[in-house]
């Protein structure tokens, strides 16, 4: 394998690892907190709203938007590291 192919392979491995972590976080927040653990989380109230309800209705959306910004920031950093960025 040439140096360029090795670099591309490492770039995509790192990219897929970032995607996997983002998807795992999204699944944790949306499915586990919003559906599976809704009853225990409803015992906690923030601003008059039950936490389980908040995660199911708004929290998972906010986390998803945060994941989008994190992914864009991290990919820009990765692109510069592997010299594949576009200005």
Could you tell me the pTM of the whole model?
0.83
**Is 32 within a domain?**
yes
Give the pLDDT confidence of 66-82 residue by residue, as tens digits.
999 999 999 999 999 99
Give the pLDDT confidence of 7-45 residue by residue, as tens digits.
889 999 999 999 999 999 999 998 898 889 999 999 999
**Is 15 within a domain?**
no
Q: Which residues span the domain enclosing 51?
A: 23-87
Residue written as token pair 């709203």: 49
pLDDT at 70: 98
Burial 9-31 (b: 16+ CB within 10 A, else e): eebeeebeebeeebeeeeeebbe
**Is 4 within a domain?**
no
Number of domains in the chain: 1
Q: What tokens does 21 get?
A: 């972590």
H/E stretch holding 50 reads: strand 49-50
**Is 70 within a domain?**
yes
């Amino acid at each position: 394998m040439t140096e360029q192919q090795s670099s591309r392979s490492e770039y995509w491995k790192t990219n897929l690892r970032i995607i996997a972590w983002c998807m795992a976080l999204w699944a944790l927040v949306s499915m586990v907190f919003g559906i599976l653990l809704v009853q225990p989380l409803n015992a906690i109230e923030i601003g008059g709203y039950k936490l389980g309800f908040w995660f199911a209705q708004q929290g998972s959306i906010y986390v998803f938007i945060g994941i989008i910004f994190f992914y864009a920031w991290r990919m820009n950093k990765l692109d510069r590291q592997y010299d594949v960025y576009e200005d």
